[in-house]
Amino acid sequence: MTRTLHVVGLGSGDPAQLTGEAVAALRGAAYAVAPRKARADGGDDPLVAVRRDLLAAVAPGLALVEVPDPERDRSARVAGDASAYRGAVADWHAARAAAYEQVLLERPGDVAFLVWGDPAFYDSTLRIVDAVLAGGRVAAEVRVVPGISSLQLLAAAHRIVLHEVGQPITVTTGRRLREAVDAGADNVLVMLNAGLDLAGLEDWTIWWGANLAATGERLVAGRVGDVLGDVLAARDAAKVEAGWVMDCYLLRRPPSRR
């Protein structure tokens, strides 16, 4: 019988946000898998700790296999070399695929890959699983279970619609925000932020959130020039409280500059 690899979106890690489909996938799996990032202080990975608590709440007894996450070369990102950055990410994904393949070869049965948020948004688990299967040593079918994304949580927390009537919305990363602005995007959703560089966007409106629906949640909204200091302080506070920070935000161009 062909085994199934469930790629399960966990939302913010709150059991209340899991769909019935996600709970069923977790309870039907032989074990779950998640990457564990090394910490300089040797402490536990707080995002793995959240996953452990989640499994204890909805799938008691399900083993969590914590796979040490390979080191990633971030020098190209800092230098702004797009080609080198893509190469570094490809190398990182290949190392992850090799690590996951080893787990799958050693452990039979259906498995649940635990994905923060939703597998469709800026997560590479599906690409890595496909690379494992392409290697030919693991035979399985892949099933994706969607989760509540940070984009949805941001809109709900601020009680907003993410775009204006009949208007498009651009989803991008902090690294590529300027490209979206220069291309004329009026509504920009920004994820994966190493920092917050909003110089020149002081008249735009921002709806910002960190650790949405999780420990350390922070929300700030207003004119960028008025609230940027509050955003930066809230970001730092969220990281201190939770031990990690993931933030996203919506930027909207002022009508006078369209």
Residues 19 and 139 in one domain: yes
pLDDT in tens, 196-254: 999 999 999 999 999 999 989 999 999 999 999 999 999 999 999 998 999 999 999 99
Total of domains in the chain: 2
Banded model confidence at residue 32, pLDDT cuts 50, 70, 90: very high
Residues 22 and 78 in one domain: yes
Q: Note the pTM of the prediction, 2 decimals.
A: 0.90
CATH of the domain at 64: 3.40.1010.10
Helix/strand/coil for 246: coil
Residues 166 and 125 in one domain: no
- What letter represents residue 253's amino acid? R
HSE-CB at 248 with a 13 A cutoff on CA atoms is: 27
Residue pair 112/8 in contact by the 8 Å Cβ criterion? yes
Residues 65 and 135 in one domain: yes
CATH of the domain at 215: 3.30.950.10
Domain boundary among 125, 145, 165: 145
In this structure, what token pair is assigned to residue 142? Answer: 């892949």
Using alpha carbons, list the distances in angstroms from residue 193 to 173, 196, 208.
Answer: 7, 7, 12
Domain extent, residue 84, equals: 3-145
